[in-house]
Structure 1
Amino acid sequence: MQQRFCITLLLLFTFLSGWTQTPNDSVFVQKKRFGRAAAELFVVQLLPWSYDKFITKADWAKLSIKSIGSNLNPKNWEWDDNSFKTNQFGHPYHGNLYYSTFRTNGYSFWQSAPAAVSGSFIWEVAAETNKFAPNDFINTSLGGIALGEMTYRLSRKIVNNRSRGAKRQAQEVFGLIVSPLNGVNRILNGEWGKVHGMVDTAQKLTAYINIGSRHFNIKTYQQNLRGREEIYLRLRLIYGEKFEESETPFEHFSTVMELGNGDSTYINNLQVSGALKTWPMQSAGDGRHLYTVTMNYDFIKNNAFQYGGQSFTFKLMSNWNEHSKIKFTSEIGSGIVALGAVQDKYLYYGEGRNYDYGVGIMMTAGGTINFNNLLEAEFNYKGSRFETVNGNPSSYILNTLAADVRGFLGKRFSLAAGVGQYTLNGFFKGFDNVAEVYPFARFSLGYKL
């Protein structure tokens, strides 16, 4: 199953490499269809509920007026005990479908965001007898918005409306996989397979794929465990121009996805960071400096470490010498973690709840230096401080650090090596404090699509 999934992703990004970029084109503005969007939002909720109600006969799908009334009362709300993968990936993905019902029917980012929020609220109140879960509501809403906008823009880039034949049909199918609602509405609008002069080239998309080996270790006060080598696949997407002023959300976003063969999840790293607004600070000489506010989604689950969260950051970005042979960029910022899930070695109950939920503050820093497109070094740091709002009484300090070097072999291929580590410090009441370090290394062959 995992091998088939990797092959699917490889084929997908192979089709991405065949785009034609035409500067004068722009994103096709769709007609707004409120009735259809509302109907699709209802269907997106009805289908999974019907499956659990009539196929699996789940007890929680047996709704009643009493259960709905109970869920409307904030005094009855309760943080749930679902597994990390369900809460930090499954719910945001479902929220992405809510968001997409309106986004793919002609509505803007801000006009579509309420669909993710309202869809999440309706599900928690009127689609299950389980108590309203604040963590599900937040993860589904915020994660759904970030994933929904990212997948919508990506799916619109996959399909080249000027393509024909088998290649065009493959693009349509992969676009539907990335954003199911966009694919469905292309069929309903008569766009599927139709050749016309409009193609989404308003923003450039650059994709990098790396295949190689990675290795995790675990170091604590009590033990030092050496992990094993595992094959991994890494995708990096860069959409739009990072150092351009923009009022439109997600005119620039970056996405990192990793898949590995040594864990229980198919995707063990998915991080999305989209600019909500970018405006200039100053331009001097060959340098350019801008402020940006980003919306972020993080899902990290490998055989050593797990973290998931929704956050917002304010950054200062600098492109110091963009026209030089030696290019240097940097960014530094801080922000808030609206809700973060941090692993807790002392907690395990229910479906597999082994993490605490917390809110907090964060700092980020990063930079790249490129030597005439022959050699590139990249550094990224993110540090967070959490106070637990649900779980064991505790607080956490989480640091993530990664450094990568890439040597370019022509315009497409590269060799990459990287090191880094996750560091987790937990401070508990009633338990011993925790200090854990998860160093990692990775080596890969890269290809620019």
Structure 2
Amino acid sequence: MKIQQIALVCLLALSNGIGAAQVLHHPDSIYTFTDPHMQKKYPWRAAAETVGMNVGVWAFDRYVMNEDFAKISINSIRRNIKHGFVWDNDQFSTNLFAHPYHGNLYFNAARSNGLNFWESAPYAFAGSLMWEVAAEVEPPAINDLIATTIGGIALGEMTHRLSSLVLDDSKRGFGRFTREFLGTLICPMRGINRMITGDMWKVKRSHYKYHDYERIPIQFSISAGDRYLADNNYLFRGEHNPYLEFRAVYGNPFDKINDAPYDYFTATATLGLSPNQPLISKINLLGKLWGVPLKTSTGMEMMFGVFQHFNYFDSEEIINGSGRIPYKISEAASVGPGIIYKFPRMNSLVNLEQSVFLSAILLGGSLTDYYNVIDRNYNMGSGYSVKNKTLLDFGRYGQFALNLHLYQIFTWKGYEHKDLENTNPLYLNAQGDKGNVMLAVVNPLIELNLSRHFKANMEISYFYRHTHYTYHKDVQYKTFETRVGLLYQF
């Protein structure tokens, strides 16, 4: 390879946050990160797509669904700007999952147009701000702006990277169609842009792969089985329903070369396949924004970093149960320091890892026992969280993991001294019941190896909530769920 070519490849790689050593590992490269065409940035096209997305969704709501909130005018926009932001009363899944998911579309409008992680982040904010101020007659919601922006960035970068795992421009026929369909399902805006540019059907002999598994290894698994959700902590009073879970460990936390945001992340998404429970019952996402390896003299590997967190737990009442909802927990916008360390191998214990994280919660949510306005039965607020994960890998036998989550969320802006009878609920502007909540989730799990790819999966999650209300009686609640299933490790 000529010196001039090496310099050009390194320059292109460095401009996209990729180390020169990684690129020189594949001098010919079949990977898109060395393709000059793929390094071009289209910020104005990304902006047009962000605006167009909002206009398209608004037009559907206004002219197809005939929704009252979409009947905007110049006066409604002027009123929204003059009145300012409030805390809205949409349901839990709308505010704390749907809005972050929508933010991921804004983010990926930019990400799939060649912009890097940090350059794409403002698009999530701008798209959300435009929608809140100009696309609804209801007052703009501060919680939507936070969740859509910060939660959207987390989901956006994760889906962008996961879609890269299935894309391969060298394929043809049904195999190519399947890859493009799956990639679009994972990251819709990337699929739309590939359709616009024609990359969706172009067949290439070079620069055709979007992920280098040697550079950034991936562990991916799918599990399915039965979940038992206890009602009010009763062992034999609850309901069984099937579940499907996806897990991914992306990258190596101790990697000294690949240090761009989300070069290391872990993700878990659980689907509840029961009409009585939410389709999406759990999402746990942890992404490294920045990290540095720490030196040790004992053979231990360590990494200190700053991490972004997105956690979402949702459930509904048990059929023929007590009428109490087991849990609703959200950490939609959260960031903070953490440390991961790995001990040297000890006999049959192949891997022992310990992780500890402390984060500031900018926006979180928890089930409430009193506040119930329009569609909201939960409090929102800010606070902090502490998480611990212990992993013991026994090699050919299986592994044991213990996940501990502790959340403390403070609801600062209550409604108790407001004239509720003469206040429009849309303008109530309350986070919920003034007070604070302590939430704990304890999740031990065991995986037993049945073969090279199949494992038996058994786990329990214990949920504890203690809510202190400033103007109401305090409430404690605890319950649990168990899961037994079969896991396939790719």
TM value normalised by structure 1: 0.90
Specify the alignment match of 1:43 in structure 2: 52
Where do 5+ consecutive residues of structure 2 fail to align? 1-24, 317-325, 413-430
- What amino acid is the match of 2:96? Q
Q: Distance in 2 between matches of 1:140 and 1:384?
A: 21
Specify the alignment match of 1:66 in structure 2: 75
Superposition map of 1:179-194 within 5 A? 179-194=187-202
For residue 243 of structure 1, report the CA deviation from its aligned partner: 2.2
Between 195-204 and 363-372, report the one with greater CA deviation: 195-204
Q: Distance in 2 between matches of 1:312 and 1:27?
A: 30
Q: Distance in 2 between matches of 1:136 and 1:374?
A: 46
What's the CA shift string for 1:224-268, capped at 9, x where partnerless?
882122211111111111222343111111111111133442211
Specify the alignment match of 1:149 in structure 2: 157
Q: Distance in 2 between matches of 1:161 and 1:85?
A: 36
For residue 313 of structure 1, report the CA deviation from its aligned partner: 2.8
Q: Distance in 2 between matches of 1:433 and 1:91?
A: 30
Instruction: State the Cα RMSD in Å.
Output: 2.0
- Is the 8 Å Cα contact of residues 441 and 463 (structure 2) preserved in structure 1? yes
Secondary structure class of the residue paired with 2:380:
strand
Q: 1:224 to 1:72 in 2, by over 3 A?
A: farther
Matched, 1:244 2:252: no
Q: 1:76 to 1:189 in 2, by over 3 A?
A: closer
Q: Distance in 1 between matches of 2:395 and 2:278?
A: 38
Secondary structure class of the residue paired with 2:195:
helix
Superposition map of 1:211-230 within 5 A? 211-219=224-232, 226-230=237-241
For residue 323 of structure 1, report the CA deviation from its aligned partner: 8.8
Where do 5+ consecutive residues of structure 1 fail to align? 1-22
- Is the 8 Å Cα contact of residues 269 and 302 (structure 1) preserved in structure 2? no
For residue 193 of structure 1, report the CA deviation from its aligned partner: 3.0
Q: Distance in 2 between matches of 1:373 and 1:296?
A: 31
Q: 1:139 to 1:67 in 2, by over 3 A?
A: same
- Is the 8 Å Cα contact of residues 395 and 428 (structure 1) preserved in structure 2? yes
Between 357-366 and 298-307, report the one with greater CA deviation: 298-307
Q: 1:264 to 1:417 in 2, by over 3 A?
A: closer
- Is the 8 Å Cα contact of residues 368 and 378 (structure 2) preserved in structure 1? yes
Secondary structure class of the residue paired with 2:476:
strand
- What amino acid is the match of 2:381? G
Q: Distance in 2 between matches of 1:174 and 1:61?
A: 32
Specify the alignment match of 1:331 in structure 2: 355
- Is the 8 Å Cα contact of residues 253 and 303 (structure 2) preserved in structure 1? no
Q: 1:324 to 1:152 in 2, by over 3 A?
A: farther
Matched, 1:100 2:114: no
Specify the alignment match of 1:371 in structure 2: 394
Secondary structure class of the residue paired with 1:247:
coil
Q: 1:322 to 1:27 in 2, by over 3 A?
A: farther
Q: Distance in 2 between matches of 1:46 and 1:144?
A: 19
For residue 72 of structure 1, report the CA deviation from its aligned partner: 2.1
Superposition map of 1:206-285 within 5 A? 206-219=219-232, 226-245=237-256, 246-262=258-274, 263-285=276-298
- What amino acid is the match of 2:394? F
Secondary structure class of the residue paired with 2:280:
coil
Superposition map of 1:264-343 within 5 A? 264-303=277-316, 304-309=326-331, 310-321=333-344, 325-326=348-349, 327-343=351-367
Between 223-232 and 130-139, report the one with greater CA deviation: 223-232
Aligned with 1:353 (options 355, 376, 387): 376
Specify the alignment match of 2:484 in structure 1: 443
- What amino acid is the match of 1:166? F
Secondary structure class of the residue paired with 1:143:
helix
Specify the alignment match of 1:418 in structure 2: 459
Between 228-237 and 108-117, report the one with greater CA deviation: 228-237
What's the CA shift string for 1:269-327, capped at 9, x where partnerless?
11211110111122434320110211111221123221122211311110112596521
Q: Distance in 2 between matches of 1:229 and 1:165?
A: 41
- What amino acid is the match of 1:396? V
Secondary structure class of the residue paired with 1:284:
coil
Q: Distance in 2 between matches of 1:126 and 1:215?
A: 44
- Is the 8 Å Cα contact of residues 218 and 436 (structure 1) preserved in structure 2? no
Structure number with higher strand proportion: 1
- Is the 8 Å Cα contact of residues 405 and 440 (structure 2) preserved in structure 1? yes
Q: Distance in 1 between matches of 2:219 and 2:259?
A: 21
- Is the 8 Å Cα contact of residues 379 and 433 (structure 2) preserved in structure 1? yes
For residue 347 of structure 1, report the CA deviation from its aligned partner: 1.8
- What amino acid is the match of 2:465? L
Q: 1:332 to 1:32 in 2, by over 3 A?
A: same
Between 112-121 and 293-302, report the one with greater CA deviation: 293-302
Aligned with 1:134 (options 134, 137, 142): 142
What's the CA shift string for 1:402-444, capped at 9, x where partnerless?
0011111222010111122111100112322111112121111
- Is the 8 Å Cα contact of residues 279 and 292 (structure 1) preserved in structure 2? yes
Q: Distance in 2 between matches of 1:132 and 1:306?
A: 24
TM value normalised by structure 2: 0.83
Aligned residue pair count: 424
For residue 86 of structure 1, report the CA deviation from its aligned partner: 0.8
Q: Distance in 2 between matches of 1:332 and 1:96?
A: 27
Secondary structure class of the residue paired with 2:365:
strand
Specify the alignment match of 2:19 in structure 1: none
For residue 59 of structure 1, report the CA deviation from its aligned partner: 2.2
- Is the 8 Å Cα contact of residues 406 and 439 (structure 2) preserved in structure 1? yes
- What amino acid is the match of 2:72? L
Secondary structure class of the residue paired with 1:191:
coil
Secondary structure class of the residue paired with 1:268:
strand
- What amino acid is the match of 1:382? H
Identical columns (%): 28
For residue 204 of structure 1, report the CA deviation from its aligned partner: 2.4
Q: Distance in 1 between matches of 2:119 and 2:345?
A: 36
Secondary structure class of the residue paired with 2:237:
strand
Secondary structure class of the residue paired with 1:339:
strand
